[in-house]
Amino acid sequence: MLKKKDKYNVAIMGATGAVGAEFLSILEERNFPIKELKLLASEKSKGKSLKFKNESYPVEILGHNSFKGVDIVLSSAGASRSLEFLPSAVKAGAVCVDNSSAFRMDKSVPLVVPEVNPHAIEKHKGIIANPNCSTIQAVVALWPLHQAAKIKRIVFSTYQSVSGAGQKKILEMEKQVDEINKHMDNWIAGHHNVDKFLIKEFPHQIAFNLIPQIDVFLDNAYTKEEMKMVHETRKIMEDDSIKITATCIRVPVFFAHSESINIETEKKLKPEEARKILSKAPGVIVIDDPANQKYPMPLDGEGKNEVFVGRIREDESIQNGLNLWVVSDNLRKGAALNAIQIAELLIKHA
């Protein structure tokens, strides 16, 4: 367990990545009580330095001996590195909040969204898992409705930005858009494909396109991302009886994921009741005024900490059904902010 202190030694694994940058930004914004800060990354980042509170910090090469004296590790370095190095961090006495998929479905590791299941951190044994970005925003919106009317079934359709796939994917879409802009005459004439050499990170062109595949396909014909949403939602909401299906789509948006969510509840929940419940829910902002074309969009969510909900309407095909549209910044609430909120919970309960 974390020992009570005025300030804590914090290490960031994957400090030079997109989520690492968000870690630094949010730690500064929230004035997190840091005594010493250690930035860790792979050999590729050797010699780099990063700014935090107007000071420059060198990036150190991640190793098994990187965690001496560290109290809290915020990790976003990928599942393989988490599996390899976080046990060493725990052995050194640190409590780790891991943003990878490495430990999420481990029964001995809590999977936490502070607005939903903050009590789960009490069961940690040195590692707490941060859920998948698309799962986090969904459960923040669904949990208050589940408490009010008990959700029986969920149908997720996600529209996920390229930033959720990492920095290289962002750059690939930028290059493809630039190429299309240079040859706009061809584009207008009906030649819509970019050169194959510009398609490396994604399986297909992402610029001005949609890809109905996120992560690898499994034996059941769902993708790994889709099954993450199924299993993680049940674990976080502590209800294995909820029937869940998902379709996850990569869209040509730089930041913020959007989700169309259909739910069936045991108790009838009218749209106006759902709006009232969600308007009081922690971490949620309701934007739902279709008469004036007001609803959440990725541009609304970008750079914000909250989960935005709109298009709340009755599903007329079933007796107790609702449709919702949910938007949130995947790098902030969907990754870095949620992890830092977990760290804040650890400090609160130290």
Per-residue pLDDT, 189:
65
Which of the residues 96, 124, 248, 257 is marked catalytic?
Answer: 257
CATH number (3.90.105.10, 3.40.30.10, 3.40.50.700, 3.40.50.720) of 8-130+335-348 reads 3.40.50.720
Per-residue pLDDT, 184:
80
| Nearest one of 63, 2, 57, 59 to 33, comparing CA atoms | 2
Q: Where in the chain is the domain with CATH 3.40.50.720?
A: 8-130+335-348
Tens-place pLDDT, residues 176-223: 999 988 888 776 666 678 888 899 999 999 999 999 999 999 999 999
Per-residue pLDDT, 185:
76
Q: For the domain bounded by 135-161+210-330, which CATH number is listed?
A: 3.30.360.10
Tens-place pLDDT, residues 59-83: 999 999 999 999 999 999 999 999 9
Per-residue pLDDT, 152:
98
| Nearest one of 308, 250, 302 to 278, comparing CA atoms | 308
Residues of the chain with pLDDT under 50: none
**Catalytic annotation present for 248:** no
Q: How far apart are CA 169 and CA 40, in angstroms?
A: 22
Q: How far apart are CA 42 and CA 61, in angstroms?
A: 5
Q: Where in the chain is the domain with CATH 3.30.360.10?
A: 135-161+210-330
Which of the residues 96, 124, 133, 146 is marked catalytic?
Answer: 133
Instruction: Give the ranges where 33-126 is alpha helix by DSSP (H).
Output: 79-91
Tens-place pLDDT, residues 338-349: 999 999 999 999
**Catalytic annotation present for 96:** no
Q: How far apart are CA 235 and CA 136, in angstroms?
A: 12
Sign of CA dihedral 91, 103, 105, 34: positive
